[in-house]
Structure 1
Amino acid sequence: MLDTSSADKLAAILGQFSVPMFAADRASATSDFKVVCINQAHATASGLEPAALKGVSIRSILPRSEADILIDHYVECAHNRAPLRYLVTLTLPDGIKQWDTTIQHVPLASGGDRVVGTGLPLAIDAAKAGTQMTYDNVRYFSALADMQLQNLVSMFETAHQQGLFNSNSTSRVDQLCGICRTVQRSVEDIRETIRRADPHKPPTRAIKKGDVGESTLRALCETALAKG
């Protein structure tokens, strides 16, 4: 599914997630990467307008030096065909922010390359780095857990809709989905506690969005591609 040729369909997929996500394509190894879509969570955290980004080159969005760094990461990910995590500072409509970003390569049927990624805006304050790192780590791992649980629930629900479970297993799967949602609520309670406790937190709209780690993003891509 993540290799779909429809930008609207891909946007709908990424729109199901509460973490900031984005996708960019290049037609060939000599082409520039262009934005396919970002989800609403990314738009909220970055200040970018989703509708205005479709098909726009990365170089048209960022200052040249920042675009070069970002494209280098995309090229590395596409070349190695493996997840890549990095920190990058970007100048966006909502200001200059450092992003903890993870991207995953998705090969396209046309022979081009796609990177699908997610990122967490980080607070930049060296004097409070130790405390802030603790808060950021809790946000990171709670968002990671939430993403993994959501992936599991989505897979079970899709399999259920496709009639892949028999009558004996359906109730057990429903119970498992219920447990997953209960844990998700507990994870959200942890994230809400951090939002209230962090005395130096960035804007609430940025904190509400989490980051997804390499293993989770890889699982998302493999699951979506398998469904396609």
Structure 2
Amino acid sequence: MKLLIVEDDPMMGAGLQAALSEAGFVTHWVTDGAAALNLLATESFRAMVLDITLPELDGLSLLKQLRAQDSKLPVLMLTARDTTRDKVMCFDAGADDFLVKTTDMEELIARLRALIRRSGFVGRVKVGNLMLDADTQTVTQDDKWLALSNREFELLQLLMENAGQVVARSRMEQSLFGLNRAGESNVLEVHIHNLRQKLGDTKLKTVRGVGYALVNE
């Protein structure tokens, strides 16, 4: 499951990313609200961990913009503030949960998983004879386990969630490598080639000049 972390404190951000990655999440970390808003316009996430005090665009303003766009993304607010007024402000802006920064990582991870479950995501995607389990980071084909790299898993998850539809090359590159590295090499083609070898040639369709699609059997 892919998470967005929005935190400007280097130590806190690095700690969150390390703990959440160890818990099996695929994490993207940005340090200001404007960068987060741009990323959310091009990529999909299962949840967001959002700090209130941020440069460029503060967390509450960012959240209000998302909710005004009818975004249903589960959002857990993280802040050093712990007064009742602060909590009310977060929930009024559209937050789904609230934790102070002194909380332990186990509680944060548990709350995130609960938010994602309540949002309707069960952690599994099935397309034909393929089954992807985001919680355990495993993929099976005809009930046989497939050995995939982290990049291959993330790429296949994006394709499976959009099965039968063409996923633009630019979206795939940004999802895998971020905005700064998108389009810089033929790395995407290498991952697609590797996936074809593991899934079978007929599973992935190339739409030249546009992107790729997973055949929805």
Q: Same fold (TM over 0.5)?
A: no
TM-score by length of 1: 0.33
TM-score by length of 2: 0.34
